[in-house]
């Protein structure tokens, strides 16, 4: 099997695992286990807590001591055990603890997956800006496939979703050990104490453009966490008025339109990134979040279904033009010796601090607009849209970056 196909399978499985539970777990915990909104939000916030330190920590380990593909495999093997355990739990406190450990195992693998893919592609003489997106798109396809398996099998409100994720993690954990070695970069130069401790990537904050980029990555990471946590819960709240509608019966399929959109826009990243530069690409992402939240606020599973579908489509720009382009930007702006650490830092800001900020803040907004058990979803989504609009106004003023057009 050629290296592109091997990396394609790697990316497919990486996101298939996440897709088995990320979008549907909130509904399972709320409707089946009857956890409160605060408990659900706290459990999802574990991804943010873990991402504050685990991606950066394991990125340092990959840069210094252990092959990145081996770390990737060990993390997924650990996740396989934890997801299976979670499928047997019915109390919120224990679920919180297990999902925290699962987040500590899984969240670093997002950056490690990128590091392994980039390293192998460069070793084989490929152009990562041109050749990685067509490989990464299969990660999105894997996420979609997992969502469809869970939804069509009726496992959206069942612990079986966690067991499917567990089996997939077990397979990927073994498969990762068969990949070409991604060895740590050895250096004979003397290093400072901070360098020896692995804080190399944090020197990027000395550059104003990188500091601003990472801060806005955190703020956009908050927006990403909102729909992951409450998207399906929002659709389930229409059960009384639209019980027979497609959006209520198959919320997972409707939400998967977002991932189909990802597939299309991932392929457009090389053109947009080299034609317009990271500043304009991220600005497109920010305003896409404004539109997505606004359409959620205006739509419903009846005559407003088309607005919900449009919101799913715009997600491709909102997600890809931020997370994938941002990862490529970090790769191009950092030196080889700290790239794994830099990717880990990017994940800390987006899936760590950003996810925690998004989980905690969105939970409070939802509680504020909940009266006698009824959520005022339109007001909720409009508040989130206003937040994204504020970012869109401030970002181009603060982020100073001059892009030089390039031809692929």
Round to whole Å and give the CA distance between 210 and 145. Answer: 35
pLDDT band (50, 70, 90) for residue 197? very low
Region 89-116: mean pLDDT is 94
Percentage of the chain with pLDDT > 70?
94
Res 75: pLDDT: 97
Closest CA to 274 of 137, 407, 127, 396: 407
pLDDT band (50, 70, 90) for residue 188? very low
Round to whole Å and give the CA distance between 180 and 160. Answer: 33
- pLDDT tens for 243-263 read 888 888 888 889 889 888 877
**Which domains, ranges and CATH numbers included, belong to the chain?**
3-179+197-398 (1.20.1250.20)
**pTM of the entire structure?**
0.77
40 or 100: which leads in pLDDT: 100
Query: Which residue(s) pair with 144 in the sheet?
Result: none
Alpha helices (H) along 20-127: 25-27, 37-51, 54-64, 68-86, 92-123
Res 191: pLDDT: 45
Round to whole Å and give the CA distance between 219 and 247. Answer: 29
Region 83-96: mean pLDDT is 97
- pLDDT tens for 158-175 read 999 999 999 999 999 999
- pLDDT tens for 262-300 read 778 878 888 888 788 888 888 999 999 999 999 999 999
C-beta of residue 355 within 8 angstroms of C-beta of residue 217 = no
Round to whole Å and give the CA distance between 342 and 203. Answer: 10
Res 223: pLDDT: 86
Q: What's the mean pLDDT when you consider all of the chain? A: 86
Q: Compute CA distances 310 → 107, 141, 260, 303, whole Å.
A: 29, 19, 12, 13
Region 115-143: mean pLDDT is 89
Percentage of the chain with pLDDT > 90?
40
């Amino acid at each position: 099997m050629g290296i592109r196909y091997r990396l394609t399978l790697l990316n497919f499985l990486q996101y298939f695992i996440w897709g088995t539970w990320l979008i549907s777990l909130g509904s399972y915990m709320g409707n089946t286990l009857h956890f409160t909104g605060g408990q659900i939000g706290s459990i999802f916030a574990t991804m943010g807590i873990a991402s504050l330190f685990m991606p950066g920590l394991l990125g340092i380990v990959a840069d210094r001591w252990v092959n990145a593909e081996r770390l990737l495999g060990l993390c997924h093997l650990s996740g396989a055990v934890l997801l299976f355990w979670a499928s047997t739990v019915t109390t919120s406190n224990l679920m919180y603890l297990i999902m925290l450990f699962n987040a500590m195992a899984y969240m670093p693998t997002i950056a490690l997956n990128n590091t392994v893919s980039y390293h192998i592609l460069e070793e084989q003489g490929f152009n990562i800006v041109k050749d990685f997106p067509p490989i990464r798109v299969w990660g999105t396809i894997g996420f979609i496939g997992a969502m469809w398996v869970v939804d069509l099998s009726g496992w959206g409100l069942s612990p079986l979703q966690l067991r499917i994720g567990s089996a997939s993690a077990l397979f990927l954990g073994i498969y990762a050990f068969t990949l070409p070695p991604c060895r740590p970069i050895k250096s004979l130069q003397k290093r400072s104490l901070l360098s020896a401790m692995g804080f190399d990537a944090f020197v990027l904050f000395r550059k104003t453009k990188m500091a601003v980029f990472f801060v806005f990555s955190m703020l956009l990471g908050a927006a990403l966490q909102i729909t992951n946590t409450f998207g399906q819960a929002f659709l389930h709240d229409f059960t009384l008025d639209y019980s027979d509608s497609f959006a209520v019966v198959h919320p997972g399929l409707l939400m998967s339109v977002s991932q189909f959109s990802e597939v299309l826009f991932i392929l457009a990243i090389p053109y947009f990134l080299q034609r317009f530069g990271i500043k304009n690409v991220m600005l497109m992402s920010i305003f896409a979040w404004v539109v997505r939240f606004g359409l959620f606020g205006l739509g419903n599973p009846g005559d407003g279904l088309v607005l919900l579908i449009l919101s799913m489509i715009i997600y491709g720009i909102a997600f890809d033009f931020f997370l994938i382009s941002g990862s490529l930007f970090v790769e191009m702006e950092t030196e080889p010796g700290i790239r794994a650490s830099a990717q880990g830092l990017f994940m800390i800001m987006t899936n760590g601090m950003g996810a925690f900020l998004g989980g905690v803040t969105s939970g409070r907004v939802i509680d504020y607009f909940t009266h006698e058990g009824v959520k005022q979803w339109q007001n909720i989504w409009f508040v989130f849209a206003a937040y994204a609009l504020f970012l869109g106004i401030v970002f181009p003023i603060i982020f100073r970056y001059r892009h030089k057009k390039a031809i692929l």
